[in-house]
Amino acid sequence: LLETLDTITRQHTGRFQQSILLLREHVAAGGGLAEAMANQPVLFDNVCVNIVEVGENAGTLDTALERLVEFRRRWAGLKNRVSSALIYPCIVLAMGLVLSLFMMTYVMPKLFAVLEQSGNKLPTVTVIVRAISYFIIDWWWALLMGIGGAAALLGAILRTERGATTWHRIQLKVPILGELVRKQSIARMAMVMSTLLNSGVVFIRAVQIAQRTVGNRVLRDALVSCEQAVYGGRDIGAGLEKTDAFPPLVVQVFAVGQASGRLESMLEDLAADYDTQVDITAGRLTALLEPLLMILLAVSVGFIAFATILPILEAGDVM
């Protein structure tokens, strides 16, 4: 193990290298690898620590580390697929905002100056666009302060227990997006629990760790209720079903897995199934957002162009 840590240390630099050196020092002093990893929670989460700890105690550290590598590979793939699906829509939205601001603050004021010199009465739509343009130019600092204040207020609300729970409940009700959030959370939960159970971690401990990996508070609270139900002597499936937060398939997997003693393998299959569903749902979300954002961009630019062309056309009619 020490030779392996030495090899890893030579292959890296910076903060990661220092972290591995701390691991090596702890192990060389007679401590356990899991204990050393627990001292660096930023780099090693509870999933890593518990898998390694069970592997050390059972004398199967090599198998535990292989299982951990596979888990991390699948976990990173799940996160990257969701992030990749949202990158393009975000780029389109950002480009639309930049283009609109450029036209409203640089192009349009010059055109308005020419139109005003003509002495013709400007159409209502042009007057509205001109007012918005001048407001952005003259009061940009107030807009930034307002946006910053609103963001700070929203952030403060979302940091409260009630605010975060309400927001996460709203997320689950949004079409397609809510479906994606739910499926991604279930895939994470099943992936974490199957890995931990296969590594020898007891069910209650696996549920407690899985709670920290589920980002949505509604689903996290459901896992807490499930943990309490199991502590009270009830079946796992019954505890999940009472929360009404998970689809019937998930509840059935836990119930049948507990009854048959095959919970680990069934959760592994569930994770693979929902991993695939996350891909499909992310694709649907992207397919929906792309045309909507393009339409929004076209409408905003078209509205500005219409406000510019209309007074020119009206001036031509008058002549």
- What is the per-residue pLDDT for 220? 87
Give the distance, in angstroms, between the CA of residue 81 and the centroid of all CA atoms in the same chain.
Answer: 11
What integer is the mean pLDDT of 161-177? 87
Mean per-residue pLDDT for 51-67? 79
Residues of the chain with pLDDT > 70, as a percent, come to: 97
**Tens digits of per-residue pLDDT, 31-48?**
888 888 888 888 887 778
pLDDT at site 45: 79
Written as six digits, the tokens of 306 are 């219409």
Predicted confidence band of residue 146 (pLDDT cuts 50, 70, 90): very high
What's the token pair of residue 290? 């792309």
Q: What local confidence, expressed as pLDDT, does residue 149 receive?
A: 93
Domain positions in the chain are 2-67, 68-119+154-319
Question: Which burial class, exposed, middle or buried, applies to 239 when counting CB atoms under 10 A from its CB (0-12, 13-18, 19+)?
Answer: buried
Q: What are residue 199's phi and psi, to 5 degrees?
A: -85, -5
pTM for the structure as a whole = 0.74
Which of the four pLDDT bands, split at 50, 70 and 90, describes residue 30? confident
> Can you tell me the distance from the alpha carbon of 64 to that of 67, in angstroms, rounded to the nearest whole number?
5
- Which of 201, 233, 238 lies closest to 222, judged by CA? 238
CA-based angle 27:33:35, to the nearest 5? 105
Q: How far is CA 220 from CA 245, 287, 312, 313, in A?
A: 9, 29, 59, 60
**Which of these ranges, 73-82, 136-145, 270-279, has the smallest mean pLDDT?**
73-82
**Which phi-psi region, left, alpha or beta, contains residue 30 (left: φ > 0; alpha: ψ -120 to 50)?**
left
50 contacts 205 by C-beta, under 8 angstroms: yes
Q: Per-residue pLDDT tens for 209-253?
A: 888 778 788 888 888 888 888 887 777 878 788 888 888 888 888
Q: What is the mean pLDDT of residues 124-151?
A: 88
Q: State how far the Cα of 248 lies from the Cα of 270, in Å rounded to an integer.
A: 12
What number of residues does the chain have? 319
Higher pLDDT, 314 or 231: 231
pLDDT for 57: 75
Confidence of residue 148 (pLDDT cuts 50, 70, 90): very high
Supply the pLDDT for residue 317: 56
- CA 250, 255, 257, 263 torsion: positive or negative? positive
Q: Is the dihedral of CA 269, 53, 215, 221 positive or negative?
A: positive
Average pLDDT over the chain, rounded to an integer: 83
Amino acid type, 308:
T
Task: Give the tens place of pLDDT for each residue, 265-312.
Answer: 898 898 889 888 888 888 888 888 888 888 888 888 888 888 888 877
- Cα 261 to Cα 254: distance, rounded to the nearest angstrom: 10
315 confidence band (pLDDT: 50, 70, 90): low
Whole-number pLDDT of residue 151: 92
What confidence category does residue 121 fall into, taking pLDDT thresholds of 50, 70 and 90? confident
- pLDDT, position 152: 93
pLDDT at 318 over 70: no
Higher confidence at residue 139 or residue 117?
139
Rounded average pLDDT over 128-149: 89
pLDDT at residue 145, rounded to an integer: 93
